[in-house]
Amino acid sequence: MTCAAVRKFLYALADGQLADKANAQVSDHVKACSACSRLVGEHQSLRTALGRQIEAVPIPRGLEDRVRQAITAGKPVPRPNRWRAILRVRTYAAAACIVLATLAAWRFALPASSAMRVGPGEGAASAVVMTHNMCCDHAASHQNTDLPKSLAGLASAISAHYDHIIRVFAPDLSGHGFAFESANLCGVMDRDGCHGGHLLYAKSDNKLTTRLSVFSIPRWDDLDGDEPAPNDGRTRQFIVAQDTGPDISVAVWHEDATSFICCAEVAPDTMADLVKDVRLALHDTTPRRMLAMLWQLP
């Protein structure tokens, strides 16, 4: 058999779908022909690569429970709704989330060598990474266009400019190549009380986009790993391993009732630099100035 004759059977051969008679003839040719055998090999390795990509999809927490509940209820069960968290804190929560109430003193980030290593799926830092990854997956629609109910009582000027307010308060990280992309109110791990501000920044080069999350949530001491949390505002860093993909850096610091978290697929040293600027930006904005800006809207 010639290459031309064999060609239409190559894929079927590679996939084990040929009937025996045809199989023998075609595989005899392939064994002797380097061009055809390379095509077969490539076909098989593509199959393996795609199969691996399917296998690599992580299963969301609680999926099986929700499917079981749906079956019992006879209708679909709502997914955990991270993207429209109900704001439980007081009126100025949106601003308060992002801006510190008072900041007496703050420490610089710990050097990268003291970052704690965390395995995939382990601990609070991994829960942060999971939210970060899920938000990045739909970055294009991450921006929340709904207004939290508790802000509805504010002047309509503020409600109309909700997005504008967030953008104004978002730390400027352009010096690191990160541009502010969107803001939402997201939850970490579906925990009650772990919903708060989530800013997403994006940095693109060479067709690859890296995203950085800045969260501000009600205080979550679990983020300290094994060590108890000293109340000194110091930054803790983690390196969270992933089943597929590079490590993700997470940095955390607490200020009174708020925990701030930065999360991105960057090296620990880069994260340390980013955190310095994020903390500096937040340090600069006081509630007084913030309130003044709120009422200066056109």
Binding site for another protein (CB under 8 A): 4, 7-8, 10-12, 15, 17, 38-39, 41-43, 45-51, 53-55, 57, 59-60, 63-64, 66-68, 70-71, 74-77, 79, 134, 137-138, 208
Query: By C-beta, is 17 or 204 nearer to another protein?
Result: 17
Beta carbon of residue 125, minimum distance to another protein (angstroms, whole number): 21
Name beta bridge partners: 289. none
**Sheet with 258-264: strands ordered across:** 116-118, 236-240, 248-255, 258-264, 208-218, 195-205, 179-187
Question: How big is the chain by its Cα radius of gyration, in Å?
Answer: 26
Query: By C-beta, is 53 or 114 nearer to another protein?
Result: 53
Beta carbon of residue 204, minimum distance to another protein (angstroms, whole number): 13
Beta carbon of residue 298, minimum distance to another protein (angstroms, whole number): 36
Query: By C-beta, is 41 or 177 nearer to another protein?
Result: 41
Half-sphere exposure of 209 (CA within 13 A, CB side): 12
**Residue 277 near residue 175 (C-beta atoms within 8 A):** yes
Beta carbon of residue 45, minimum distance to another protein (angstroms, whole number): 6
**Residue 135 near residue 142 (C-beta atoms within 8 A):** yes
Query: By C-beta, is 46 or 257 nearer to another protein?
Result: 46
Name beta bridge partners: 109. 235
